[in-house]
Structure 1
């Protein structure tokens, strides 16, 4: 920002599920994005939400809660929907002129800037058809090597513990075998394993919430 320009409003990172563990994990993953001259980064939980946004009904119900929160926080400079299914993305954009970013869009576009093809690790097989619809909307479905899901791991547990890391590693290895040159974590709760997984796989592993917040920072810091 140039001298004399006021500090932008905060970036509101919205966790649509009710897990405070996930929200804390998001905040921890974003620690390096906070600096004195930059916008504040607030990570908030929608406590009325489900424990995980997995089914289509949970997505649709969460969309209204996300929209209500965006409408209630006009002070923010940007909004990040920290759920890979991006509930409320279009609704949120209809409610504010500020940037509203979904982490699937941001994560996929970040992966495509680093590799010809990418793979996705989903937290549940129920989510995959919905994720594919978003890729068709983005026009990048042909660059998806594969998407695989974890087995029996909750959203809150997907970024913690050896069992979840082991499943992430096996899923990542399947994606590499399918030709993926980069891996996108298909759930905001997986952020705690990103760095370790990247080291183990030897290819870029994208935390989509980090990708979305990086985009929001760029937009706010270069705004006229």
Structure 2
């Protein structure tokens, strides 16, 4: 399948293993790209601000995409990209939280660290979803790569999930595009729905593009 008329998934960081894991989770209706000049992990507010124009420029350079997914949980560049391309643009935070709220009255989020939590809350408030957040738990500052690939991170994830359930979360959103490879094992261990926000955004994209092949 050519690059034209596909759903473009943009990972704003420069870690190819994270992009590869997204590619493995999707099919050939999706073209997964990263940004080599970006940081290995989007961490700071500055990272988010600098990622926005890069995401919009990369999206605008694609040939007639059906939709664009911004595959970072801070949704960098979503507004800029919506202004730059004529197709639907979906942020994974928006899609992941919407999916969780379709599954449970209250949801929780697991973040890579404590640092992005305030930023996430600002966005949730703008989306009108903050009141249904049970809690957000940050890990010890792991990378986007380690989130999905380092065995040492699993125990942290499990403890964070249990804390969120104790806080009243009936569904948990993984607060980084790199967490995807952990979704199934965490759901089996915790017994509540675990939302991979990249897959949630992919579902939204397919719903508005008719699932074209």
Q: TM-score, normalization: structure 1?
A: 0.90
Q: Which residue is equivalent to 2:98?
A: 109
The equivalent residue for 1:67 is 56
Residue by residue over 1:139-176, the C-alpha shift from the partner in whole angstroms, topping out at 9 and shown as x without a partner, is 01010000001113211110113211111111000000
Say yes or no: does 1:221 pair with 2:210.
Answer: yes
Tell me which residue corresponds to 1:22: 18
Give the Cα separation in 2 of the matches to 1:154 and 1:57: 17
The equivalences for 1:45-56 within 5 A come to 45-56=34-45
1:51-91 deviation digits (Å, cap 9, x = unpaired): 11110000000001001111111421100000000110000
Structure 2 counterpart of 1:91 = 80
Q: Distance in 2 between matches of 1:221 and 1:152?
A: 38
For residues 150 and 40 of structure 2, the distance between their equivalents in structure 1, rounded to whole angstroms, comes to 18
Contact 2:5 2:63 in 1 (8 A): no
Paired position in structure 2 for 1:118:
107
Structure 1 residue 222: deviation in Å?
Answer: 7.2
State the structure with more CA Rg: 1
Partner SS, residue 158 of structure 1: helix
The gaps in structure 2 that reach 5 residues or longer are none
| 1:136 alignment partner, SS class | helix
Task: Tell me the C-alpha RMSD between the 2 structures.
Answer: 1.3
Gaps of 5+ in 1: 1-7, 35-39
- When normalised by structure 2's length, the TM-score is 0.95
- What residue is the counterpart of 1:184 in the other structure? 173
